[in-house]
Structure 1
């Protein structure tokens, strides 16, 4: 998954065409040229709300060439509110410059490159990271000291280390929305479940003997630096059922005991920790190649998305996952021309999701539009069924993206296009025009009001 995709001669032409359409397609866009490539990007907590923009944390990684350490970056991001940015403002960005909307706040020197970042929903200043090792690292980003990433600098010490994998676990990582649980998958073909609460409970029992000391996953010495030895937490369960590397995992939106996983064996597996460590349901050949990513619909727990090296996104209904023992998706979304690396449901509308791929596109889909097209085949557009927006602002593979739960319809995405931008890759924060996703009736009504206003002004 970390090999870079090849560029094409038409990339610059396509990018130029896309940039000319930015004022029409977007309500807001910020382009930030990175110093080093980032393999993961995540929104953190919202810090402040103002009249025209909100301030929010942003978590990024820096994958360096070894001349300086790899880092976990905590940035402050100014998110412009809807219908505030002028068209000329969002179109006049320099793709080789740093955006004034993104400012580095703190640097954590990470032991190895950061392959994946996930925040804890109950407390988003707590993040988990994957690197090329069997362990999951847990960080309290507020408590961690700010470090200078210079050659020879010692690694920052994680606040917790989650142990249990027998081989490297590089990508598959998830945090639970119901309990402080962490889920991981790796090259050992296993899925491992931990509870951060196990450590908090153990700390509380120790702290009870020392009145006035609060229980926390953070253990600091008197000078404020983290302890040399990070405490470790053993797993609550290790789940076996995959026959190759586990590439992604996800919790059920309604239960900390139910989760799913996908891997290089082309399988989608559903698990239930309450009934044991064997698969509850195993979907063989859910795709025709390795499966890189999975997401569970937070609005409808029956719907699960998967993205694969076969360039497709598939949607499964957990009530009818297989047919004759083989995966039976209810929809296949085929709008990418290369491996799909990331899928995520939109927090703002139950039927909408995004998919990012090695073809440099981030596609936004609405499965309800597929059903409508099926009912009216004469109205089928040239684009694939369900695809209603295509973000073409990246010039190489889009390795990660994240919907913003605090600012509706706002997305952060990162791409490994350092060869074409003269930097370390590109981070973009963007929001499509609401005329694109709002119901057609609303848009037409608003356009009529606007038309009436123009006519009224012209006759005065």
Structure 2
């Protein structure tokens, strides 16, 4: 990994000339306003871009320390220039929060490090504590909810690799040899969608560019033969499957979305792998992400290359409840807040991460406010200079998010308490029609 001191990174991948100049100007404006927009910002430059990030569920609080310790999963995308790794990183976050006014927060802003936070005596904020060899870049990495030490990755070969991190050294062997504990076979092309069931231990879904969704139960794995074939391979899509997600309350239900613009709801009890329980053309372009609301039996979101996010009721999939408009490029990833039933975040190729509030749908706006976006758009994070690849909402620090982008930057950030408006209560789906 790169040095632990965050540094500013220019966007070499952007088009030369005007585009690059605009991006850099926007970044300078964001940086200037950072002290007033955030309570915490940690900017960490990675040696290689990471296409994935996910907070691990644990948190420790060292005695007499002014910070809490968290862990995060990231990966590398070296394009063959170096060995690729699955990385477990340690993240230090300041205890409490800032009760300060904008002026006082501004005085705590470190211009060189681009950080806000009362960390002056604490060690490095983000550092690698374990690296594990991986074959090619990691498109996505997710831990198993019932045992977070088990981490599944999407490999470019199409295989899903499962690592028990407790069985691997803290530093990867320089020979680069990848030794997953389980190899899940059954798909012929790479993909990004990867979802563990929160209700059935060991059950995992993978979405692939080969137009399939594969379903494995890793509890069927035998140590003498670490290669596992899928229970089923679902073949309802006619193009690349962009994402999959398990229903949070029904252990037999999952959703898949794809480049064919289709949203499909499946029942694992049905042996017909070619016909979903329901299907609907949900967007006017490719669908890249799907996310069930963790606290709702019926609501789910989809994010699309048509630049919009759609809210759906699973009981009436033919009718979109609401369309969230604000991004200016493909919507790539979605993440519901684990702390609030009304907040979710979206990551886009427009270099932005948006936080949305369902409670504010339809709220009255002044003309000036309307120019900044719809009322339900609560916050815009503009800290990246390239396409945002992944995002993860902290399970422990209520308003902290991690985002990673193609600019090699990993950021951990918390919107200012003066900006965010905590949502209250559940949302009635029928109220949104």
TM-score (normalised: structure 2): 0.85
Q: Is the 8 A contact 1:45 1:125 kept in 2?
A: no
Q: CA RMSD in A?
A: 2.4
For the pair shown, which has the larger CA radius of gyration, 1 or 2? 1
* Distance in structure 2 (CA, Å) of the matches to 1:308 and 1:297: 17
- Which string of whole-angstrom CA distances, capped at 9 and with x for unpartnered residues, describes residues 283-305 of structure 1? 33211111111111001131111
Classify 1:329/1:384 alpha carbon distance in 2 versus 1 (closer, same or farther; 3 Å).
farther
Which of 353, 378, 385 is 1:362 aligned to?
Answer: 353
Q: Is the 8 A contact 1:411 1:430 kept in 2?
A: yes
* Distance in structure 1 (CA, Å) of the matches to 2:112 and 2:404: 17
Alpha-carbon deviation of 1:191? Answer: 1.1
Task: Give secondary structure in 2 for the equivalent of 1:390.
Answer: strand
Alpha-carbon deviation of 1:370? Answer: 0.9
The residue number in structure 1 matching 2:420 is 437
The residue number in structure 2 matching 1:169 is 190
Alpha-carbon deviation of 1:378? Answer: 7.9
- Which string of whole-angstrom CA distances, capped at 9 and with x for unpartnered residues, describes residues 162-206 of structure 1? 1222x213211111111221001112211111112222xxx5xxx
Task: Give secondary structure in 1 for the equivalent of 2:27.
Answer: helix
Q: Is the 8 A contact 2:243 2:258 kept in 1?
A: yes
Q: Is the 8 A contact 1:28 1:90 kept in 2?
A: no
Alpha-carbon deviation of 1:372? Answer: 2.9
The residue number in structure 2 matching 1:28 is 40
* Distance in structure 2 (CA, Å) of the matches to 1:59 and 1:49: 19
Alpha-carbon deviation of 1:379? Answer: 9.4
The residue number in structure 1 matching 2:429 is none
* Distance in structure 1 (CA, Å) of the matches to 2:154 and 2:422: 40
The residue number in structure 1 matching 2:82 is 68
Classify 1:392/1:380 alpha carbon distance in 2 versus 1 (closer, same or farther; 3 Å).
closer
Q: Which runs of 5+ in 1 are unaligned?
A: 204-218, 220-228, 323-327, 418-424, 442-460
Which of 310, 315, 318 is 2:314 aligned to?
Answer: 318
The residue number in structure 1 matching 2:209 is 187
Q: Is the 8 A contact 2:340 2:423 kept in 1?
A: no
* Distance in structure 2 (CA, Å) of the matches to 1:439 and 1:407: 14
Which of 257, 261, 264 is 2:256 aligned to?
Answer: 261
1:60-99 correspondence runs (5 A):
60-84=74-98, 87=105, 88-94=107-113
* Distance in structure 1 (CA, Å) of the matches to 2:359 and 2:368: 14
* Distance in structure 1 (CA, Å) of the matches to 2:109 and 2:313: 39
Alpha-carbon deviation of 1:147? Answer: 3.6
* Distance in structure 1 (CA, Å) of the matches to 2:168 and 2:44: 25
Alpha-carbon deviation of 1:82? Answer: 3.5
Structure 1 or 2: more helix by fraction: 1
Task: Give secondary structure in 2 for the equivalent of 1:341.
Answer: strand
Classify 1:440/1:191 alpha carbon distance in 2 versus 1 (closer, same or farther; 3 Å).
closer
The residue number in structure 2 matching 1:212 is none
Alpha-carbon deviation of 1:129? Answer: 0.3
- Which string of whole-angstrom CA distances, capped at 9 and with x for unpartnered residues, describes residues 302-325 of structure 1? 111111111111111111111xxx
The residue number in structure 1 matching 2:294 is 298
* Distance in structure 2 (CA, Å) of the matches to 1:405 and 1:56: 10
Task: Give secondary structure in 1 for the equivalent of 2:86.
Answer: strand
Which of 312, 315, 336 is 1:345 aligned to?
Answer: 336
Which of 282, 296, 318 is 1:286 aligned to?
Answer: 282
Classify 1:379/1:63 alpha carbon distance in 2 versus 1 (closer, same or farther; 3 Å).
closer
Task: Give secondary structure in 1 for the equivalent of 2:252.
Answer: strand
* Distance in structure 2 (CA, Å) of the matches to 1:41 and 1:379: 35
The residue number in structure 1 matching 2:30 is 18
Q: Is the 8 A contact 1:159 1:230 kept in 2?
A: no
- Which string of whole-angstrom CA distances, capped at 9 and with x for unpartnered residues, describes residues 40-82 of structure 1? 0111142412453211111111111423211111111112234
Classify 1:89/1:304 alpha carbon distance in 2 versus 1 (closer, same or farther; 3 Å).
same
Count of aligned positions: 392
TM-score (normalised: structure 1): 0.80
* Distance in structure 2 (CA, Å) of the matches to 1:426 and 1:155: 26
Does 2:237 match 1:242? yes
The residue number in structure 1 matching 2:4 is none
Task: Give secondary structure in 2 for the equivalent of 1:253.
Answer: coil
